[in-house]
């Protein structure tokens, strides 16, 4: 949903934080993030908590439904309503589609959806990290030849990154995968072809 200008601003800010973390170590002083994870997660939950701590904020929350009042029958709406009195933002993962959206309706604070189902074919946070890495290594996000290798049919990270990179000029894509794991039709029909992107699909790295 970001414009190119908004995307660039986020990447520029990320670069500044990476280069001078001490400058940003107190920007979230007095702020709290609530990580409400109704299903197990290690990397994702800790990445949110680590980021908040690095910015000077604090964290609270739970890492499974069994550790929450959901085990006693409390609804997502009720949990969100109560937790929004304790924190400034919620990061939430839930096994049921629509649950985080329900939480956002009843919460008084922003709710960030970590659910895979809520974002369909996309993985926006990973895409921003990938774009940041490419720009740091190559100095640009246009006029690049980029190879994607592996599971290209179900890999949300690939779909999301390709969708973003097609908005930059003169990028060429190689999609390397076995026949049964090639990119889905929607990526060709809705993203690559409308943007007049140059791309090739091959089955081996040698090709």
Q: Is 72 a known active-site residue? A: yes
**Which residue in 3, 42, 72, 137 is the catalytic one?**
72
Q: Is 44 a known active-site residue? A: yes
Q: Give the Å distances, CA to CA, from 76 to 39, 95, 101, 136.
A: 13, 12, 10, 40
> How far is the C-alpha of 100 from the C-alpha of 110, rounded, in Å?
11
Cβ neighbourhood burial of 179 (10 Å; 0-12, 13-18, 19+): exposed
**Which residue in 93, 94, 159, 182 is the catalytic one?**
93
**∠55-57-59 over CA atoms, to 5°?**
125
**Which residue in 94, 123, 159, 182 is the catalytic one?**
123
**Which residue in 8, 44, 75, 125 is the catalytic one?**
44
Whose CA is closest to 165, among 180, 185, 184, 148?
148
> How far is the C-alpha of 30 from the C-alpha of 87, rounded, in Å?
10
Cβ neighbourhood burial of 141 (10 Å; 0-12, 13-18, 19+): buried
Neighbours of 46 (CB within 10 A): 13
Q: Is 123 a known active-site residue? A: yes
Active site residues: 43-44, 72, 93, 123
């Amino acid at each position: 949903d970001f414009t190119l200008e908004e995307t660039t601003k986020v990447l520029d800010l990320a670069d500044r934080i990476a280069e001078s973390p001490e400058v940003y170590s107190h920007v979230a002083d007095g702020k709290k993030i609530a990580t409400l994870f109704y299903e197990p997660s290690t990397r994702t939950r800790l990445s949110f908590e680590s980021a908040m701590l690095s910015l000077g904020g604090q964290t609270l929350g739970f890492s499974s439904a069994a550790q929450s009042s959901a085990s006693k029958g409390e609804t997502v709406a009720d949990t969100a309503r109560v937790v929004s009195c304790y924190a400034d933002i919620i990061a939430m993962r839930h096994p049921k589609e629509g649950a985080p959206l329900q939480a956002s309706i009843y919460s008084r604070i922003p709710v960030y959806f970590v659910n895979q189902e809520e974002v369909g074919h996309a993985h926006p946070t990973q895409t921003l990290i990938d774009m940041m890495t490419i720009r740091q290594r190559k100095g640009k996000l246009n006029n690049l030849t980029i190879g994607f290798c592996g599971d290209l049919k179900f890999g949300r990270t690939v779909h999301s990154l390709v969708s973003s990179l097609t908005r930059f000029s003169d990028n060429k894509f190689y999609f390397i995968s076995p026949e049964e794991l090639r990119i889905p039709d929607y990526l060709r029909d809705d993203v690559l072809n409308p943007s007049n992107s140059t791309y090739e699909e091959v089955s081996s790295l040698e090709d």
